Amino acid sequence: MRQDLPKRLLGRTGARVSILAFGAGSRFLQYDEEKGYQALNHALDLGINYVDTAYAYGNGTSEQRVGRVMKTRRKEVFLATKVLDRDAEKAMRSIEGSLQRLGTDHVDLLHVHGLEDASDLAAIESPRGVLRLLYKLRDQKVARAIGITSHSDPAVLARALDRHDFDCTQMALNGALAGMASGGPRSQGEMSFQTVALPAARRKAIGVIAMKVFAQGQLVGAAAPEMLLRYSLSLPVATAVAGMPTPEQIEANVEVARNFKPLSSTEMDDFSEHLSAGYKAALDHFFRHHTDA
């Protein structure tokens, strides 16, 4: 029997989404095909209603697997996918393929995938760039909402959010990335999505999705998984996307979400200060060069 999880409003989309989202990226693809279907169905049975996928996850394999589950459960799910192409014509072909693999005529959220730097933003914004296509697809209800994701450059993401009419954004938010490792005045290298991009999203009532909660597995062992998830969910976000490569991890994360209690500001400061001192510099470097696939 499906059990409810706490839900939050996803910005101005009007959608209420479970505070834990199922990440169908590299961790999902660690399952063999049949067990992957079972894992996603199990997550939905436990009350998760947000599924995050992309063509880049296994060159369509993730979308294909998700699409098989959507044949019987599409109405239960807030479905998000992403487009990596910056050229509008190429992006349209990619999106058509995504819809076919997902077995649907629309997605609830379509993101520009993996904003990197200022030159990348310029390509997205160009007259033949993908941004204008996303506006068109939103008008046509092919995508009910549009967004942009980044784990590379908080300042560039904030610029994109300030300039353009996005409904949602997905960004790297975890305790290790939040703090200032040196303890001194914030330098360019010490900026974080939490301090730079998250306020930009909030100014425009853009729905925020947290990702990289466990830093692509690099914080496992450095802090309790429950605390890592609670930290990200204590921020002003609608949901946190997590890759969960075992049924036990699905159940453990659902349990944290079901019984979620926000950390106090003191607890958050202490937690992020401790983690960032040992991990922020390395994670900043890792995510600048990390391919989200």
Closest alpha carbon to 55 in 23, 101, 92: 101
CB crowding 27-62: b at 16 or more within 10 Å, else e: bbbebeeeebeebbebbbebbbbbbbbbbbbbebbb
Q: Count Cα atoms within 13 angstroms, Cβ side, for 14.
A: 3
279 is catalytic: no
From 31, 55, 57, 279, active-site residue:
57
What is the spatial distance between Cα 50 and Cα 78, in angstroms, rounded to a whole number? 5
98, 100, 103, 106 alpha-carbon torsion, rounded to 10°: 60
Total Cβ atoms within 10 A of residue 218: 16
Residues acting as catalytic residues: 57
